Amino acid sequence: MISRVFNSITSKFSQSQSLTAAYFTYKAWRQNGLRGTHSSQQSINMTDMSVRILPALSDNYMYLIICNKTKEAAIVDPVNPETVIEAVKNENVELKSVLTTHHHWDHAGGNEKLLSLFGKPLTVYGGDDRIGGLNKKVKQDDKFNIGNLNVSCIFTPCHTSGHICYYVESSTAEQKAVFTGDTLFLGGCGRFFEGTAEQMYSALIEKLSSLPDETKVFCGHEYALGNLKFGNHVEPDNKDILAKIEWTKAKRDQNEPSVPSTIGEEKLINPFMRVNTESVQKFANSIGKPIDTMAHIRKVKDSFK
């Protein structure tokens, strides 16, 4: 009896995963057409660290993080394993780990297939037992390495209850990057699917805003123009937002990714990072109440066109 129930649940879960995969695949085909991808691949090269930007699906980003000295690499949210494997070969690096931000299929849905195709052991990090292929669960302030690069885990529950952002520094701490999944976007933040405004305030204001301003931000989706349009709606006199809109339009016209931004830049252009700012609080009619402001602007953004 128990076996039949388990098999039924497993079958239904497998069917659900297949339907989810089919939906995202169709959505990507419909949007990208013959282009194949929503953006071109690009590399952000620093002295000790490189990040290969790998577009996936209709608007997702995967990131191949490379320690330039040791050639050890990690992949963030490898929803398209074939693209990852090709990039690993092209970059001539040794892939050792998977950094999963959260359990949603368009981020974690490729983990198990990558483990199967790659043929070598990989450490799969994440903060949620719902993540496929997870073999190393992490929490706030857990640390590990990618070659000589230092990685710190930042627990940011709200979009999902087990969301993790990964803060990566060179050994000298001169180069810094944070991989934010669906918590922080360029100009925006993720929906509060499994959390509250208090949790997003903690994630964005208390945790991510405390990172050095020069930290590069690599987010999970290409949502920049829509987010900036909303930011302009909230703060129509914010010249930094207007300038970033023009910059982003030029990038997207060339099919180039808008990522990365920086933490310092987000503090200037992102209303969700600016809930302590009077102009954003005025929009929300919540002067002196940053968490109420966070809740209000997220509710407005959810239906903003």
Q: Look at residue 19 and tell me if it is in a domain.
A: no
pLDDT of residue 9: 31
Q: Examine the residue annotation and report whether 159 is marked as an active-site residue of this protein.
A: yes
Q: Work out the mean pLDDT of the chain and round it to a whole number.
A: 93
Q: Which of 38, 59, 128, 159 is catalytic?
A: 159
Q: Examine the residue annotation and report whether 38 is marked as an active-site residue of this protein.
A: no
147-198 pLDDT tens trace: 999 999 999 999 999 999 999 999 999 999 999 999 999 999 999 999 999 9
User: Number of folded domains in the chain?
Assistant: 1
Block residue for tokens 């981020």? 107
| Dist. CA 291–CA 50, nearest whole Å | 36
Residue-by-residue DSSP string for 68-112: TTT-EEEEES-S-HHHHHHHHHHHT-EEEEEE----SHHHHTTHH
Q: Which of 59, 163, 182, 296 is catalytic?
A: 182
Q: Which of 48, 106, 128, 163 is catalytic?
A: 106
> What pTM, to 2 d.p., does this model score?
0.92
Q: Look at residue 115 and tell me if it is in a domain.
A: yes
Q: Examine the residue annotation and report whether 102 is marked as an active-site residue of this protein.
A: yes
CB 184 within 8 A of CB 225: no
Q: Which amino acid is located at 239 in the chain?
A: K
Q: Which domain holds residue 68?
A: 24-221
Q: Examine the residue annotation and report whether 296 is marked as an active-site residue of this protein.
A: no
Q: Which of 107, 128, 163, 296 is catalytic?
A: 107
Q: Look at residue 296 and tell me if it is in a domain.
A: no
Q: Look at residue 285 and tell me if it is in a domain.
A: no
Q: Look at residue 302 and tell me if it is in a domain.
A: no
Tokens of 91: 């970059």
| Dist. CA 188–CA 291, nearest whole Å | 16
Q: Which of 104, 128, 163, 296 is catalytic?
A: 104
77-93 pLDDT tens trace: 999 999 999 999 999 99
Q: Examine the residue annotation and report whether 182 is marked as an active-site residue of this protein.
A: yes
Q: Look at residue 284 and tell me if it is in a domain.
A: no
Q: Look at residue 18 and tell me if it is in a domain.
A: no
CATH number for the domain harbouring residue 208: 3.60.15.10
| Dist. CA 146–CA 97, nearest whole Å | 8
